[in-house]
Amino acid sequence: MKNIRLITKPLLVFALSAAVMAGCSRKATITDANKAFESREYFLSSSMYKQAYAGLTDKELKAEAAFGAAESFRKINDYKNAEYWYNQTLKNDPDNKEALWFVAMEMKNAERYEEAKAKFEEYKAKGGIGDQADHEIEGCVKGMEWKKEQTRYVVENMKGLNTKNSDFGVVAYRGDALFFSSDRENPDNRRVYGRTGDKFVDIYRAELKRAKRGEQLPSIGKVNPAEGLVFDYNEATGAFSGSKIYFTLCNGVEGTENSCKIYEATLSGKAFKDVSALSFCDDSLTNYGHPSVSQDGLTLYFSADLPGGFGGKDIYATTFDKRGKSWSAPVNAGSVINTNKDDMFPFIHADGTLYFSSNGHVGMGGLDVFSAKNNGGTWEEPVNMKWPINSGADDFSFTVSDDKQNGYLSSNREGGRGKDDIYGFYLKPLEFKLKIVVRDAKTGKTIPNATVKFTINKDSAASFTANGEGVLESPLMMNTSYGFFASKAEDYYFDSEAKQVSTVGKELSENFVQELLLNQMNVEDEFTLKGIYYDLDKADLRPESLPVIDSLITLLNKYPKIRIEIGSHTDCRSSKEYNEQLSQRRAQSVVDYLISKGIASARLEAKGYGETKLVNDCACEGTEVKRNCSEEEHQLNRRTTFRIVSK
């Protein structure tokens, strides 16, 4: 609700008698409307400006009345009516840059970002403040981007708490109750707040029930005024430290003061007692509010319009002196947090992260929620919490649980039940899924019942079988790395290329899709045996080459009718005759090893190709010479292959 959001002074309705209203001229009605507006009785002034506008013919006066109505509606967050009356202003005064500015702002609040951008550009073209417009245009662009981004946040209206009025500012207490603020109808407080035309704001207690089956947020039980915290004027929730609550109260306990201050009270049973103002709230010209206390109870963050700040409302901190039992002088949170506009509703998390609402940082519209981490006593640049925590409207009073899995915020976004509504939010569990499709490398057809082998975090292994369509689907664990490849299938021998996926550090759910390609063995197909090495100018097999050849033995034993040719290839260095002889000896050494392991010689043929089948243009003599080659390129030509002769 705007009055508590901006920590303004509460006023009673500015009384104008029916006789005075009836006797005033239209011009006098504008004058009286101006008086009501200056007294911050915006609900009343909006009606008076509208009444004045209805009977006027002079365009200048109509523009004045329309602008007054628009400003009044804006002050009470009635964005639709505000935009209408700003447009009426422009209808009568097309050069009114201020009205044009607010039309653009109201469009932004309604998330009509493209329209808003165009209006801001029009505002600039008519001589408006360019930097200011560019700042808002950036927010429009970001708003459109953020609404398209994937998010884990789910935001739901807390229907059990909300009414047609303003309900906001939830603070949880020990898991069984919520305290919040509302200007709903209350038989104990019938006074009307002139700014809004609604009742004054009181603090309420709501009992919590277990979440219903299939729901993430708790159900709401009985809702009653917070006993011991109901006063004549506006009061609003803040924060708990143990059984002590810190809250905002305007006009004091007796209703005799003229500002808003931060108070404390102790909860005893279901009633609060020992209500007193905090020691640093000693300036009657300053409005203090929105308290949030650190986990140890020794640092209090709050908003105030103290002199010397950066803008309208700034965020401050104060520390508690246990010996002196008093709070220190407030310290401004600094220019990284505070802007030249309003920065309010701080919430300090147990891990030291500061959450707050601002309309000065780049945002989606109205007040946006931001987070800022503290690094060695210095605040880092605030980060916008994006959609759906934020919207084009005002989003504020953000609180989140210690594990950051759920929390509450307040907003007057579209789709609410009242003016300001309370929303609960939670993070959807992270879900990771892997879909593997095993295909024939040449035809692209899926391979049924293929074996897929996994390594998990490089220290454990598992094996699974794809279904009849060559598809394997599996959930993945968080913060885990996986490697996998397709292994032997009918008429296929060589494993597929290994692939990897990882969920380490992933903050959003993700579905991974990977293809694994297997090569089928056909007559005349040739395959390279990777990992067969020889010493320089030698044909003897090195020990590290034997596992590769052993895998070929497995193939030959599995398919006893296959006949193969072992081919050995060299690079172009040395003479052609020498390379041919060397490659023949090397091919024969592989054949000899296979025979020694029981493979019939009739199934084997050794062929040395020398440098006759280079895989690139790294020839060394004759007309084939094209360029100088690197050692890596020559290495590609030094290879051992096998070719299917018959099967």
- Other beta carbons within 10 angstroms of residue 192's beta carbon come to 15
pLDDT at 497 (0 to 100): 87
The answer to whether 545 touches 517, Cβ cutoff 8 Å, is no
Token pair belonging to 616: 């690139």
Tell me the domain boundaries of the chain: 2-148, 153-427, 432-518, 526-646
Nearest residue to 644 via CA among 610, 587, 604: 604
- Residue 20 vs residue 420, higher pLDDT: 420
Q: Which helix (H) or strand (E) holds 335?
A: none
- Residue 88 vs residue 519, higher pLDDT: 88
Q: What CA–CA distance (Å, rounded) separates 199 from 313?
A: 24
Q: Which amino acid is at 629?
A: C
- Banded model confidence at residue 326, pLDDT cuts 50, 70, 90: very high
Cα→Cα distances 279→241, 263, 315, 326, 550, Å = 17, 9, 18, 6, 84
Mean pLDDT (the chain, rounded): 90
- Strands, DSSP E only, in 557-627? 563-569, 604-610
Look at phi and psi of residue 206 and say left if phi exceeds 0, alpha if psi is from -120 to 50, else beta.
beta
Q: What CA–CA distance (Å, rounded) separates 553 from 574?
A: 32
- Banded model confidence at residue 14, pLDDT cuts 50, 70, 90: very low
The answer to whether 384 touches 390, Cβ cutoff 8 Å, is yes
pLDDT tens for 443-477 read 999 999 999 999 999 888 999 999 999 999 999 99
Interhelix angle for 113-125 vs 130-148, to 10°? 170
Fold of the domain built from segment(s) 526-646: 60s Ribosomal Protein L30; Chain: A; (3.30.1330)
Q: Which CATH number fits domain 153-427: 2.120.10.30, 3.40.50.740, 3.20.20.70, 3.40.50.300?
A: 2.120.10.30
Residue 337 has pLDDT above 50, yes or no: yes
Q: What CA–CA distance (Å, rounded) separates 320 from 325?
A: 7
Q: Which residues contact 528 (CB under 8 A, 6 or more apart)?
A: 639, 640, 641
Q: What CA–CA distance (Å, rounded) separates 165 from 189?
A: 15
Interhelix angle for 97-109 vs 113-125, to 10°? 160
DSSP secondary-structure letter at 12? B
- Other beta carbons within 10 angstroms of residue 312's beta carbon come to 18
Residue 195 has pLDDT above 80, yes or no: no
- Other beta carbons within 10 angstroms of residue 125's beta carbon come to 11
Superfamily of domain 2-148: Tetratricopeptide repeat domain (1.25.40.10)
Q: What is the mean pLDDT of residues 593-613?
A: 95
Q: What CA–CA distance (Å, rounded) separates 349 from 334?
A: 19
pLDDT at 252 (0 to 100): 86
Residue 501 has pLDDT above 70, yes or no: yes
pLDDT tens for 108-159 read 999 999 999 999 999 999 999 999 999 999 999 999 999 999 999 999 999 9
Q: Which residues contact 221 (CB under 8 A, 6 or more apart)?
A: 206, 207, 208, 209
Q: What CA–CA distance (Å, rounded) separates 319 from 326?
A: 8
Q: What CA–CA distance (Å, rounded) separates 465 from 445?
A: 17
Q: What CA–CA distance (Å, rounded) separates 50 from 13?
A: 18
3-state DSSP call for residue 50?
helix
pLDDT at 9 (0 to 100): 37
Nearest residue to 217 via CA among 263, 153, 136, 297: 153
pLDDT tens for 51-105 read 999 989 999 999 999 999 999 999 988 889 999 999 999 999 999 999 999 999 9
The alpha carbon dihedral of 178, 184, 187, 188 has a sign of: positive
Measured in residues, the chain has a length of: 647
Fold of the domain built from segment(s) 432-518: Immunoglobulin-like (2.60.40)
pLDDT at 504 (0 to 100): 96
3-state DSSP call for residue 2?
helix
pLDDT at 551 (0 to 100): 86
Q: What CA–CA distance (Å, rounded) separates 397 from 10?
A: 20
Residue 271 has pLDDT above 90, yes or no: yes
- Residue 529 vs residue 72, higher pLDDT: 72
Q: Let me know the angle formed at the C-alpha of 610 by 604 and 613, rounded to the nearest 5 degrees.
A: 90
Between the two ends of the chain, the Cα-to-Cα distance in Å is 82
Q: Which residues contact 30 (CB under 8 A, 6 or more apart)?
A: 48, 49, 52, 61, 64, 65, 68
Token pair belonging to 144: 């459109």
Share of the chain above pLDDT 90, in %: 71
The answer to whether 382 touches 364, Cβ cutoff 8 Å, is no
Distance of CA 636 to the CA centre of its chain: 47
3-state DSSP call for residue 29?
helix
pLDDT at 626 (0 to 100): 54
pLDDT at 189 (0 to 100): 67
Nearest residue to 298 via CA among 270, 267, 274, 323: 323
Nearest residue to 172 via CA among 377, 399, 326: 399
Task: Kindly report which listed range (60-64, 338-342, 516-520) carries the lowest average pLDDT score.
Answer: 516-520
pLDDT at 635 (0 to 100): 79
Distance of CA 581 to the CA centre of its chain: 66
- Strands, DSSP E only, in 32-175? 153-157, 167-173
DSSP secondary-structure letter at 212? P
Q: What is the mean pLDDT of residues 597-613?
A: 94
Q: Which residues of 590-606 are buried (b: 16+ CB within 10 A; e: fewer)?
A: bbebbeeeebeeebbbb
- Residue 622 vs residue 613, higher pLDDT: 613
Q: What CA–CA distance (Å, rounded) separates 178 from 512?
A: 41
pLDDT at 215 (0 to 100): 82
